[in-house]
Amino acid sequence: MKRTYVKDIASTVGETIEVRGWVQSRRDHGGLIFIDLRDYSGVLQLTFHPENVDSFKLAEQLRDEFVIAARGLLQERAEDMRNPNIESGNFELLVSELDVLNKSEPLPILVNSSQFVSEENRLKYRYLDLRRQKMQDTLKKRANYYTYIRKYMEAKEFTEVATPILANSSPEGARDFLVPSRVHPGMFYALPQAPQQFKQLLMVGGMHRYYQIATCFRDEDPRADRLYGDFYQLDLEMSFVDDGEEVRSTMEPLIKSLVTEFAGKKLLFDEIPRITYQDAMNTYGIDKPDLRYDLKLIDLTDALKECGFGVFKRAVDDGGRVKAIRVPNGSSLTRSQIDNFTELVKKEGAGGLPYMTIESGKATSSITKFFSEAELEKIVELTSAEEGDLLFFGADKLEVVNKVLGALRIACADHFGLKDPDVVALAWIIDFPFYEFDEKQGKLDFGHNPFSMPKGGLEALNSEDKISIVADQYDMVMNGYEICSGAVRNHNPDVMYEVFGVLGYDQSYVESKFGAMLNAFKFGAPPHAGCAFGLDRIFMVLIGEENIREVVAFPKNGSGIDVMMNSPSAVDDAQLKELHIDVKPED
């Protein structure tokens, strides 16, 4: 008999049908047995009468998650027996025949319960965890998400092209996963951190616009918003583009429609703001600011440079800055809550957390005695502080103050519930520094992507102040998450040599690392630009999850371990020998 899905039963009332699925629950009411059967499309009540001896006896043996096939007459339930909580609640199947297709041992985790199950156990038995309706809905919605994206990209004349997984090591800013070569002893492939070089070569190859939903690999520590190992991005590139704004204006309608049409959320801004990297750092203390709330960093340096408070005065005299955050109604914080914030900023590098509250229009605290009346009035004026507000201060080197108050800003927003989950705030962060000084290495290094075009080209690279060089590079942020990174690409070999030359690398080094791309650029490479969107992270925000592992079918745990498949794992000595690898014991 042809199988009928639960979603289609309404048209089969009065007919004998067969359904297949899992036993979701079993209820024995003495003379009757009721089974809730679950298939991919819904849940249906099966009713067993003792008159059907064989099927009734078999039904007595059923347990949760047994896989069964049931045949019988579909009928409407009595009016007082209907269940309005499920779509099939008006119907039941009077079972005449029952087959057990497979049994289930007692479950190590609960599938149909709201009872808490640890993430470690959920990932260990992920094949059971995926049976939960929430996970089923998430995976289906993710598939629809991909379809939505592909339709947009095809409509914009992007061509989907698959690029290699076994590639070469590339300086993308994270550690590579290396793959030893059996046929070339001592040589290694690298799993791509991104298809960067390949997509640029596609532009040289005459591709008008390229995209792919690409699997990327980075050996970075996992976080709540970052998967370990492999992740997925919408990778794209556009030829004959020499301005990042063309890429931004092409792609932002997709992201806006994903927010409003696909996810049904509200956009905070109809017009997505463009914020320079420097302005983002100085105003929000971070290059991926959540704009759903204000809490801006307010510079008070000039107003307080002569104040009598030693912490502020020393910071200014040493070339640092004094900044504040105004927390509306922050005076409601208790002493212990302020102490918690103090511990937070100390971990970020602050020595302490000075603060003032606004009472009767004046700033007051234990430190106000070190300030003149004019200085206190200026603090209130510059911060636009109102009655009941609280002002937190930071004083140190600019980078430290921004980092400290940036972290405090996020913590205050969490504490006061300022992150509306139904609102999405998008912004483009532009004009990133091309180089930065690496304190650990004690030398200049790339600030981000070495394949970006410095604004001003070769002439800009001749600047004595290398830190001031700006890359034509851009990120999109969504509710405090970086969801996209892109740039106008460096397609000029002379500029490429000079970009690395600034850091002390000679032409032979550049050619050894990027020979294919450099050679290609010598044969009529068009100007081009592109970006990549983090699909896992965007989807996480769109469906309201806070842990990125909830939106992927088979993630690794917070330690980068696949507890279901037991990987990473040791391999046979024979395999290592074939790859010419010796494993050294840990010291």
Q: What is the mean pLDDT of the chain?
A: 94
pLDDT tens figures, 82-113: 999 888 999 999 999 999 999 999 999 999 88
- Rounded CA separation 95/55 (Å): 7
Q: Is the pLDDT score of 173 beyond 70?
A: no
Q: Are 47 and 31 in contact (CB under 8 A)?
A: no
Q: In this predicted structure, what is the pLDDT of residue 31? A: 86
Q: Which residues pair with 75 in a beta bridge?
A: 92
pLDDT tens figures, 390-431: 999 999 999 999 999 999 999 999 999 999 999 999 999 999
- Rounded CA separation 487/454 (Å): 10
Q: How confident is the model at residue 171 (pLDDT cuts 50, 70, 90)?
A: low
Q: Are 331 and 358 in contact (CB under 8 A)?
A: yes
Tokens of 11: 């048209």
Q: In this predicted structure, what is the pLDDT of residue 354? A: 96
Q: What is the mean pLDDT of residues 555-560?
A: 93
Q: In this predicted structure, what is the pLDDT of residue 443? A: 86
Q: What is the mean pLDDT of residues 203-213?
A: 97
- Rounded CA separation 520/538 (Å): 34
Tokens of 456: 């001003």
SS3 of residue 69 by DSSP: strand
CATH architecture of 293-418: 2-Layer Sandwich (3.30)
Q: How confident is the model at residue 230 (pLDDT cuts 50, 70, 90)?
A: very high
Q: Is the pLDDT score of 169 beyond 80?
A: no
Assess if CATH 3.30.930.10 describes domain 136-273+426-552. yes
Q: How confident is the model at residue 127 (pLDDT cuts 50, 70, 90)?
A: very high
Residue holding tokens 């799993």?
A: 191
Q: Which CATH number fits domain 6-102: 1.10.287.70, 2.40.50.140, 3.90.940.20, 3.40.1710.10?
A: 2.40.50.140
The pTM for the full model equals 0.92
Query: What DSSP character marks residue 527?
Result: P
- The residue length of the chain stands at 587
Q: How confident is the model at residue 464 (pLDDT cuts 50, 70, 90)?
A: confident
pLDDT tens figures, 258-287: 999 999 999 999 999 999 999 999 999 999
Q: How confident is the model at residue 512 (pLDDT cuts 50, 70, 90)?
A: confident
SS3 of residue 26 by DSSP: strand
- Domains of the chain: which residue ranges? 6-102, 136-273+426-552, 293-418
Residue 177 CB burial class (10 angstroms; 0-12, 13-18, ≥19): middle
Left, alpha or beta for 156 (phi > 0: left; psi -120 to 50: alpha)? alpha
- Rounded CA separation 454/494 (Å): 12
Q: Is the pLDDT score of 172 beyond 70?
A: no
